[in-house]
Amino acid sequence: MGKVTKLKLAVLISGGGSNLQAILDACKSADYPAEVVLVFSNQTDAGGLTRGRDAGIRSEAISHKGYPGGREAYDAAVSALIEESGADLVVLAGYLRLVSESFVTRWKDKLINIHPSLLPSFKGLHVHQAALDAGVKFAGCTVHYVVPEVDSGPIIAQAVVPVLPGDDAGKLAQRILRQEHKIYPQVIRWIAEGRVSVDAKGIVTIADAKPAEMAELNPVLEPG
What contacts 149, CB < 8 A, 6 or more positions away? Answer: none
| Bridge pairing between strands 89-92 and 7-13 | parallel
Instruction: Kindly name the residue from 64, 115, 126, 128 that is annotated as catalytic.
Output: 115
Kindly report the three-state secondary structure assignment for every residue of the chain: CCCCCCEEEEEEECCCCHHHHHHHHHHCCCCCCEEEEEEEECCCCCHHHHHHHHCCCCEEECCCCCCCCHHHHHHHHHHHHHHHHCCCEEEECCCCCCCCHHHHHHCCCCEEEEECCCCCCCCCCCHHHHHHHHCCCEEEEEEEECCCCCCCCCEEEEEEEECCCCCCHHHHHHHHHHHHHHHHHHHHHHHHCCCEEECCCCCEEECCCCHHHHHCCCCCCCCC
Report the candidate in 46, 3, 53, 8 with the shortest Cα–Cα distance to residue 27. Answer: 8
- What's the gap between Cα 8 and its chain centre? 15
Q: Is 115 a catalytic residue?
A: yes
Q: Which residues are catalytic?
A: 115
